[in-house]
């Protein structure tokens, strides 16, 4: 029995030794290294772009004011389009007397306005004086250009603006004699009394150029048709005619229309801004005459008188002002002279009320001839 226990003890010891030798060593798991820290990509502050420059454009009106339904309104319509399309800031200052011209220009200069647009021949001297004193400011002026000093009677800075071209001023001029020619032709074709008329606000070139063209158009119609339609209110040879002396009196518009009707005219072209609206009112009330509008299409700007409007001579100031503003924004603005013509769409004639196909064709032919130079206002007038 004792021997049995000895044998069992030996066997137990042997099995334990074998187990110790045969079992694979169990290593402690390798230390788990913390994953390398992932650095967030460096976030650069977004580059701050300088805000786009907002250009300031300002209009100084003539005495007719911005609501004249004529060239002051047309100029501001061009600015309003530029505000919508180009993102410029637009503003106007109205002049109620000639002393306001220089004052209003100076206000825009004090406001660091980038483009100052002055409207009208009467602002020619004040615009030039300001432009020469402020060569880094751009200007555009409607119905004027430089140089404007000719002859010994002109004193620079007083009776004229500049004896030389101004590099920071763009003159916006218009061959309204071409469009006026078409209006005269249409008037001669439409009169029932054989007399048509025109009158102006003041005897200055931007006014008389309409009247000159009107007279030439009537004369050309007479030559083509063998008629003798008479023009009242203007004589190119004499360089004189009928003028109200202002651009704002509706009463003058009425009285001038009444006087011309009494002389036999049944179609009248007033070249006097809002004054012409007084003429339109007289024609409408008396049913004695038709009106030819100027500068803009009066069936749009003065639609209440559509029934007495024969047509309108279009001076597309809005297009010229918009183009000048766009050149400012594009960085291409330069001084010099823009000339609006029939050929480039700077001037034109609105639809003629009641025009026959024959008259429409004749007007198209005359427009083409004026555009290519084969027909001229001066040629018809023998100048």
- Residues 92, 234 share a domain: no
Q: What is the mean pLDDT of each run of 10 residues along the chain (383 residues)?
A: 40 40 42 46 56 90 91 95 98 96 98 97 97 98 96 90 96 98 98 98 96 98 98 97 96 98 98 96 98 96 97 96 97 96 96 98 98 98 93
User: Is residue 11 domain-resident?
Assistant: no
The answer to whether the CB of 352 falls within 8 A of the CB of 311 is: yes
User: Is residue 122 domain-resident?
Assistant: yes
- Residues 100, 215 share a domain: no
* Digit-coded pLDDT (tens) for 129-175: 999 999 999 999 999 999 999 988 899 999 999 999 999 999 999 99
- Residues 188, 65 share a domain: no
- Residues 114, 224 share a domain: no
- Residues 168, 66 share a domain: yes
Q: Which of 174, 199, 217 is a domain's end point? A: 174
* Digit-coded pLDDT (tens) for 163-216: 999 999 999 999 999 999 999 999 999 999 999 999 999 999 999 999 999 999
- Residue 93 DSSP label: E
Q: Which of 139, 156, 174 is a domain's end point? A: 174
Q: Supply the pTM of this predicted model.
A: 0.83
Question: In sequence order, which residues have a C-beta less than 8 Å from that of residue 271 and are 6 or more positions away?
Answer: 198, 199, 200, 201, 207, 208, 210, 211, 294
**Domain that residue 126 falls in:** 56-174
Q: Which of 174, 190, 205 is a domain's end point? A: 174
User: Is residue 262 domain-resident?
Assistant: yes
Residue 270 is part of a domain; what is its CATH number? 3.40.50.2300
User: Is residue 86 domain-resident?
Assistant: yes
The answer to whether the CB of 308 falls within 8 A of the CB of 290 is: yes
- Residues 135, 224 share a domain: no
Question: In sequence order, which residues have a C-beta less than 8 Å from that of residue 220 and are 6 or more positions away?
Answer: 181, 184, 185, 366, 375, 380
- Residues 83, 116 share a domain: yes
- Residues 91, 184 share a domain: no
The answer to whether the CB of 342 falls within 8 A of the CB of 316 is: no
């Amino acid at each position: 029995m004792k021997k049995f226990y000895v044998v069992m003890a030996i066997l137990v010891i042997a099995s334990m030794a074998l187990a110790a030798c045969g079992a694979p060593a169990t290593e402690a798991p390798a230390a788990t290294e913390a994953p390398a820290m992932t650095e967030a990509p460096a976030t650069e502050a977004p580059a701050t772009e300088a805000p786009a420059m907002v250009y300031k454009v300002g209009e100084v009106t003539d005495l007719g004011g911005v609501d004249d339904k004529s060239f002051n309104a047309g100029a501001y319509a061009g600015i309003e389009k530029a505000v919508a399309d180009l993102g410029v800031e637009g503003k106007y200052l109205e002049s109620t007397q000639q002393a306001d011209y220089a004052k209003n220009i100076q206000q825009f200069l004090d406001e660091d306005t980038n483009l100052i647009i002055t409207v009208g021949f009467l602002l020619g001297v004040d615009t030039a004086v300001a432009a020469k004193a402020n060569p880094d400011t751009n200007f555009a002026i409607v119905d004027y250009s430089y140089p404007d000093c000719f002859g010994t009677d002109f004193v620079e800075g007083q009776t004229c603006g500049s004896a030389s071209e101004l590099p920071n001023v763009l003159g916006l001029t218009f061959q309204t004699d071409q469009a006026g020619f078409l209006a005269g032709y249409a008037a001669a074709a439409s009169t029932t009394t054989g007399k048509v008329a025109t009158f102006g606000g003041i005897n200055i070139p931007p006014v008389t150029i309409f009247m000159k063209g009107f007279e030439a158009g009537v004369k050309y119609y007479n030559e083509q048709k063998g008629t003798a339609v008479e023009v009242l209110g203007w004589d190119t040879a004499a360089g004189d005619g009928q003028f109200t002396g202002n651009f704002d009196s509706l009463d003058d518009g009425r009285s001038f229309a009444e006087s011309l009707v009494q002389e036999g005219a049944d179609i009248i072209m007033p070249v006097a801004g809002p004054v012409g609206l007084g003429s339109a009112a007289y024609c409408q009330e008396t049913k004695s005459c038709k009106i030819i509008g100027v500068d803009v299409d009066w069936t749009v700007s003065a639609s209440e008188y559509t029934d007495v409007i024969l047509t309108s001579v279009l001076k597309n100031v809005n297009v010229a002002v918009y183009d000048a503003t766009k050149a400012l924004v594009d960085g291409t603005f330069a001084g010099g002279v823009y000339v609006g013509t029939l050929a480039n769409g700077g001037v034109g004639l609105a639809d003629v009320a009641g025009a026959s196909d024959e008259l429409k064709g004749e007007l198209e032919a005359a427009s083409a001839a004026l555009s290519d130079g084969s027909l001229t206002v001066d040629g018809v007038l023998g100048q």
